[in-house]
A and B are shown apart, each in its own frame.
Chain A
Amino acid sequence: MLLTVAMLVGIDVACEGARAAAPAMYEFHIRAQPLDAALQEFARQSGVQILFLSRLADGYRSAPLQGSYTVDAGLRALLAQSRLTYRWINAKTVEIIPLLSAPAN
């Protein structure tokens, strides 16, 4: 688990240069709904591209997301009640992945 967190932080830091120094805030209005639909809505409202294996989100619902968040904070909130996390692929694209199989060498 520690390794997972470390890896995520590493990826985040690696992508930091590509993103703006002050992370952009977005106004989100996403109601509670199945997680896959909530993630699609998140992509629409933030302009971030998202991809994931459909079965990963099976059975999960998201809590509502209302208010001003960075993309990272928003995603963390949406995924908080799942066993999923995300990684930045490039400055505008994230992949949703299982928490336990986050990249390890």
Chain B
Amino acid sequence: MTRENEVTPIPEQAEYWWVLLRDSDASTTDNREFVEWMKRSPERVEACLRVAQVHAAVSRADMRWPQTSAEDLVRAALAAPDDSVVLLGPHIRPQREEERPRPALRWAAGLAASVLIAACLGWWLTFSPAEQFQTKVGEQRSVVLADGSRVTLNTASRIEVRLQENHRVVRLLQGEALFEVAQDKQRPFDVHLGNIAVRAVGTQFNIDRRAARTVVTVVEGRVAVVAGAHGKLPVLSVADQVTVDATGLSTLQRGVNLAEAIAWTQHQLVFKRRPLGEVAAEFNRYNVGQIEIRSAALRAEEVTGTFRTQDVESFLAVLAGIPGVQVAADGAGGYVVTSAAQQ
């Protein structure tokens, strides 16, 4: 197959290389072809840096993460002297001088590529195989990782874990998890999800990943967060909570109620001043039988309370007691809530 497909957008080609080179079977030829591919244009270098920025940069203890942006890396590469040493990592044989193509107009891109390779490639290549853990709807599960850290998965959640000598990387692929990180200053603990990366040394934090937003809550210690458009956010400490929306915009809230944030680990839903519609949606995360509230006015009512995550019946019984409100089975295991004053 050809890897020089010019129809494929460059960012996608960069992704392709990312996946290929993370494979532990990637050959020396693959590495060299990657370098050749990338050297052709600064756009390619930048695309690679962007792919690598969150995933790779945060996973290297010796990178000045997260201060180093892709733009900075490109700038540093362009400003570097022509004879910069190219460090290609353990799997790449150094090229001999006569083999090295050095078209004058391409040296800058080549250097930027070197920076990328030095920073990231070693990490891509030495990546250990990942372990995956997941839960079904309504299920919760705690796993103790080989480093002593504990990850508790909430309902319908999935993580991928890679523990290495110099760093620990967990990808939160779906759902919510509480991370209780075993202290190890030599091995940063990173959680990646979408365009967000969270780093901790020895701490406890909760990440709730949804389609529309992700919420990171610090339960103990301190964590650093890199999120989408903002890049690095101020370091978070206990009871800080940052919410990142789908566009990468984030908002910080201090002094949140931690018992509430991790009530799910006790199979509890604890909500304060939340629209009834959101509370119903919370129940829907934990239960196969879904609640649908058809009245917009009812969905907007702000409620406060505490429930077992799986006691939908009691929750519906309260709703059914509201004058004018009807609760009916939808015939498919779910429930429809209507109001006489429906709008």
Contacts and interface: CB of A to CB of B under 8 A. Distances in A.
A and B together in one complex: yes
A72 B28 CA distance: 73
B311 interface: yes
Contact of A95 (B270, B301, B306, B318): B318
Nearest to A87: B321
Contacts of A39: 304
B305 A43 contact: yes
Given A44-B259, A89-B321, A95-B321, A55 B302 contact: yes
Among B270, B306, B318, B321, residue most surrounded by chain A Cβ atoms (within 10 Å)? B306
Nearest to A91: B314
Contact of B303 (A37, A43, A52): A52
Nearest 8 CB-CB pairings of A with B: A43-B306, A51-B305, A93-B314, A54-B302, A54-B273, A54-B304, A51-B318, A49-B307
Interface in A50-83: 50-55, 57
B9 to A, nearest CB: 48
In this complex, the interface size class of chain A, counting residues with CB under 8 Å from chain B, is 20 to 34
A90 B317 contact: yes
Nearest to B274: A54
Contacts, number: 64
B305 A50 contact: yes
B272 A36 contact: yes
A49 B314 contact: yes
Given A37-B272, A40-B270, 16 more contacts: A36-B272, A40-B260, A40-B272, A43-B270, A44-B259, A49-B305, A49-B315, A51-B304, A51-B307, A54-B273, A54-B304, A57-B304, A89-B314, A90-B314, A90-B317, A95-B318
B308 interface: yes
B263 to A, nearest CB: 8
Interface string B289-313: 0000000000001111111100101
B303 A51 contact: yes
Contact of A92 (B260, B301, B314): B314
A54 B317 contact: no
A99 to B, nearest CB: 16
Nearest to B268: A44
Interface of A: 36-37, 39-40, 43-44, 49-55, 57, 87, 89-90, 92-93, 95
10 contacts: A40-B270, A43-B306, A49-B315, A50-B306, A51-B307, A51-B318, A53-B303, A54-B272, A89-B317, A92-B314
Contacts of A40: 260, 270, 272, 304-306
A54 B303 contact: yes
A64 to B, nearest CB: 18
A88 to B, nearest CB: 10
A95 to B, nearest CB: 5
Nearest to A41: B259
Contacts of B260: 40
A49 B304 contact: no
Contact of A44 (B273, B306, B313): B306
B311 A49 contact: yes
B321 A49 contact: no
Contacts of A92: 311, 314
A44 B306 CA distance: 8
A52 B304 CA distance: 6
A57 B302 CA distance: 12
A90 to B, nearest CB: 6
A66 to B, nearest CB: 19
A87 B321 CA distance: 10
Contacts of B304: 36, 39-40, 51-54, 57
| Residue among A49, A51, A53, A95 with the highest chain B CB neighbour number at 10 A | A51
Contacts of B303: 51-54
A4 to B, nearest CB: 16
Contacts of B321: 87, 89, 95
Nearest to B305: A51
A93 B317 contact: yes
Interface in B117-169: none
